[in-house]
Amino acid sequence: MGTDESATTATTRRLSPDWLLRDEIGLCPCGCVGKRRRGGFVEKTLSGVSGLVRGAMFSEDVAATPGLLQRIDARVKVVTLLGLLVVAAFLHSIAALATMYVVALVVASASRLSVRFFVARVWLFVPVFTGIVVLPATLNLVTPGTIVVPLGHWFGGPVGLTAEGLESAGLIVMRVAVSISLVVLLTLTTPWTRLLHALRSLRLPATVILVLAMAYRYLFHLLAAVEDMYTARRARTVVPDRDLRNGRRFVAASAGALFGKAYGLSEEVYLAMVARGFTGDVRLLAPDRVKRRDLAWCVACGGLGLVLLWGDRVLG
């Protein structure tokens, strides 16, 4: 048996090409050998598209979990959270807004949302941008007052951050953060179809509902089409193309093709929906009914709004 195996091995080596039997240095899986090529702007755009789709899928999964807000009727949630948004607009105390934000965090935790994800989703976008925008208002050049953080002498006079400017900036940032938190709570804990049904129940025009439904539903189809176009281009590319002009040319051509595809898709979808009896109203297989927990939620939100307004008035 040993002689036969040796003969077979020798025959295999004799018939195999030299380049197949030649030893080569393999790349380390950890990436310590070789250079990692940076992705172009097209690849980064496509990765952002994939992240958007994954985020939407994650939102649908969160809305299906049995949490506090998930059990509340969508119409009740829209009305109560809209009322809390109005309350936040009338608050003029940072302490009252901070209390409202803490309540939003508690409600998010009771709705089985990751507090870390919730905080990151709220603070990494508009509040930070708002803080940058209102930053000049903290200077005594814009908001006169008592300088608490001196920044030297500019234009022949002292310049610094004033207590009045910092208070105004903090008030605006906290108000924006609370407003975004309430909107994120509504969108993460409510399925899209039930949210549209709730908006339609509040007498929002059917045209607006139709546009929102179509935009949300077929945005992901168009994003998938863009990703397929880019994958097809990479599959037909032998040598990696690092020319930025070619990348821009591809993006421009893809945008034109995508526009034509979107126009054709809209016509087909509209005809298909009309053929199936669509009239512009959102209908659910299991209509929502207001229950006792919905009434309790209304009472709790109303009480919270009154307490916050009273406390804000007391704080001056």
What are 95-131's pLDDT values in tens digits? Answer: 899 999 999 999 999 888 888 888 887 887 666 677 6
pLDDT digits (tens, 9 = 90+) for 59-78: 666 777 788 888 888 889 99
81: buried, middle or exposed (CB in 10 Å: 19+, 13-18, 0-12)?
A: buried
The per-residue pLDDT for 168 is 84
Stated pTM of the model: 0.68
* DSSP three-state, residue 312: helix
Closest C-alpha among 187, 191, 143, 194 to residue 164: 143
The per-residue pLDDT for 27 is 45
Q: Give the phi and the psi of residue 39 in degrees, each rounded to 5.
A: -75, 150
232 touches 250 (CB < 8 A): no
Amino acid letter for position 117: F
> Is the four-CA dihedral 136, 138, 140, 143 of positive or negative sign?
positive
Amino acid letter for position 65: T
Least confident piece of the model among 64-73, 151-160, 164-173: 151-160
